[in-house]
Amino acid sequence: MYKDDFFIHQAQTSPHPLGLEVSHAKGSYIYDQEGKAHLDFVAGVSACGLGHGHPRVIGAIKEQVEKYMHVMVYGEYVQRPAVEFTKLLAAHLPKTLETTYLVNSGTEAMEGAIKLARRHTGRSQIIAANHAYHGNTMGSLSLMGYEERKSAFRPLIPDVRFINFNVAEDLDKITEKTAAVVLETIQGGAGFILPENRYLEKVRKRCDEMGALLILDEIQPGFGRTGKLFAFEHFNCVPDILVIGKGMASGLPVGAFVASKEMMAQLQHSPKLGHITTFGGNPVIAAASLSTLQELTETDLISQTLEKENLFRKLLVHPLITEVRGKGLMLAAMLETRKVADYLILEAAKRGLILFWLLFEGRAARISPPLTISMKEIEAGCDLIITILNEYKPDTVN
């Protein structure tokens, strides 16, 4: 219905968008214009943790829209939803992460975190990891550990170095020149790679020795996806700056960076207005964030993710699946080849199951459903995956 105009008037980011024409979405399903239900194993790329149209979130948004929407730029007026959200978030984080700066997207949160680290340390060097993804604005892009996707946009911000994730020997690159080390707690685009052998503890120790800050990007694993509210809780490592977004507002655009009150205060002076934004802390989005966090912390949805992970692991057994990577409901089915992954994702799309690619790992099929997904829905989706793989013929052309 809108497809022709979509291709003409809406800028595209890839030559082959999936192009599902959305009518509406509810729970674990997205409905197309013909009324067909598509079981959602992607959740807006980990953004819709509570599924589509969660009544508590919708209620909070409606209530707030009717009271007021945008009234002032960030940080000038006292607006209940943002205050309550940041207070509740602090109550669920270590004491050193007590002050939150609210912005509009994950990449913008990363920009703020980089600025804060440089401002706080007076140093310029940032260390990131190969195959990392932190967003697409110039600062975040500079930290992306994948040259092919960024070389066209050079020059990027200077003084960025790279280490290999999980390689302890590389940590001596962190020195007294380093302002911050920026890592995804679990590498997403690289293929849902977990830190191993106390890696994050080792990074933390080296940062402390060198006076460098540790910034953890939890934009993807955060808000309950891995069985804890934040993934760093699994790894005995507390960052100096925590970067969050995606699932935070159940599908509204959002991001934030969190640090100590003392560190964050530095954005107020020398120069003042050290980071500013018009819409950051928007009351409607903050109301969605508050209701999302309340739902996550007042129910057992987060602990259920581990039972659901077990079910996925039990059902996703097939000769073409070499491994299931990840934690909780941040999973990737690793296929034998990139061709099998493409076949599975595209064939599933035709048959009403939404899967997706990872940014840099072509052999993966992303499985990051809403945390609210039911065991029956998991079984139905996994059944379909196995059926599709059983029908795979090596000469199949996608």
Cα-based distances in Å from 388 to 4, 316, 354: 30, 12, 13
According to CB under 6 A, which one of 188, 195, 224, 326 is a site residue for ligand PLP? 188
Minimal distance in Å, beta carbon 219 to ligand PLP? 4
Q: Does 245 bind ligand PLP (CB under 6 A)?
A: yes
Judged by CB, which is closer to ligand PLP: 107, or 320?
A: 107
Q: Does 133 bind ligand PLP (CB under 6 A)?
A: yes
Q: Does 204 bind ligand PLP (CB under 6 A)?
A: no
Q: Can you give the C-alpha Rg of the chain in angstroms?
A: 21
Minimal distance in Å, beta carbon 221 to ligand PLP? 8
* Closest CA relative to residue 82, chosen from 244, 297, 279, 299: 279
Minimal distance in Å, beta carbon 107 to ligand PLP? 3
Q: Does 283 bind ligand PLP (CB under 6 A)?
A: no
Judged by CB, which is closer to ligand PLP: 192, or 343?
A: 192
Q: Does 251 bind ligand PLP (CB under 6 A)?
A: no
Give the CA dihedral 76, 78, 84, 87, nearest 10 degrees: 60
Minimal distance in Å, beta carbon 365 to ligand PLP? 17
| Positions of E strands within 235-368 | 241-245, 255-259, 321-327, 330-335, 353-354, 364-367
Judged by CB, which is closer to ligand PLP: 343, or 356?
A: 356
Q: Does 111 bind ligand PLP (CB under 6 A)?
A: no
**Contact criterion met (CB below 8 Å) for 247 and 224:** yes
**Contact criterion met (CB below 8 Å) for 256 and 248:** yes
Binding to ligand PLP, residues 207-226 (CB under 6 A): 217, 219-220
Cα-based distances in Å from 139 to 132, 158, 178, 194, 364: 13, 10, 16, 24, 27
Judged by CB, which is closer to ligand PLP: 86, or 220?
A: 220
Q: Does 292 bind ligand PLP (CB under 6 A)?
A: no
- The identity of residue 63, as a single letter, is E
Burial 344-353 (b: 16+ CB within 10 A, else e): bbebbbeebb
Q: Which residues bind ligand PLP (CB under 6 A)?
A: 45, 105-107, 133-135, 184, 188, 217, 219-220, 245, 255
